[in-house]
């Protein structure tokens, strides 16, 4: 994204190169990807939009092992570095809980990341919705996230 897609878009279209006007967003693993992009390339992506981010994920996790990272891997990455020039929108559904007992929980890991980011001094807009891990739930909240990040609600 940082090395190929963004330069292509900026060359072809009239867009801002200001990271605080550049949103990277996604749902589920896309939300995790967006947050990782902000972590690694805050000079490009300053606004992170994550819908039901899969923050239970850990890069070195064995697919069939019994449980996932504790504390969540990405939250730990943000704890270990100095604060970056990022703003976040996070949302998660109240039904996005781990029912297997293996730790792959969307709701709790989103709350955890929210708390870590706020403790580090990041501006985080967070909301929970009544629902599951589904595009039907994310479609209306996408506008909320964009409005919050781009400052149109203020």
Per-position DSSP letters for 59-77, written without gaps between them: TT--TTSS---SS-HHHHH
- Kindly state the DSSP code that residue 47 receives in the 8-state scheme: E
pLDDT digits (tens, 9 = 90+) for 39-84: 999 999 999 999 999 999 888 766 555 455 456 899 999 999 999 9
Distance CA 41, CA 134 (A): 28
Distance CA 8, CA 89 (A): 26
Query: Does residue 42 sit in helix, strand or coil?
Result: coil
Distance CA 26, CA 80 (A): 24
Tally of residues, the chain: 154
Distance CA 112, CA 83 (A): 17
- Backbone φ and ψ for 31, nearest 5 degrees, come out as -65, -40
Class of domain 25-59+66-131: alpha beta
Q: What is the pTM of this model?
A: 0.90
Q: Hey, where are the domains in the chain? A: 25-59+66-131
Averaged pLDDT in 10-residue chunks for the chain of 154 residues? 93 94 96 98 98 90 55 90 98 89 82 97 97 90 95 60
């Amino acid at each position: 994204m940082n090395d190929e897609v963004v330069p292509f878009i900026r060359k072809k279209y009239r867009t801002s190169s200001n990271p605080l006007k550049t949103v990277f967003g996604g749902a589920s693993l896309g939300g995790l990807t967006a947050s990782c992009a902000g972590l690694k390339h805050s000079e490009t992506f300053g606004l992170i939009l994550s819908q039901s981010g899969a923050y239970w994920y850990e890069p070195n996790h064995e697919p069939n092992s019994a449980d996932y990272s504790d504390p969540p891997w990405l939250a730990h990455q943000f704890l270990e570095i100095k604060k970056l020039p990022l703003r976040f929108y996070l949302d998660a559904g109240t039904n996005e809980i781990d029912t297997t007992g293996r730790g792959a929980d969307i709701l709790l890991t989103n709350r955890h990341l929210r708390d870590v980011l706020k403790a580090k001094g990041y501006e985080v807009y967070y909301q929970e919705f009544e629902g599951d891990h589904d595009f039907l739930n994310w479609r209306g909240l996408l506008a909320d996230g964009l409005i919050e990040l781009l400052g149109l609600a203020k």
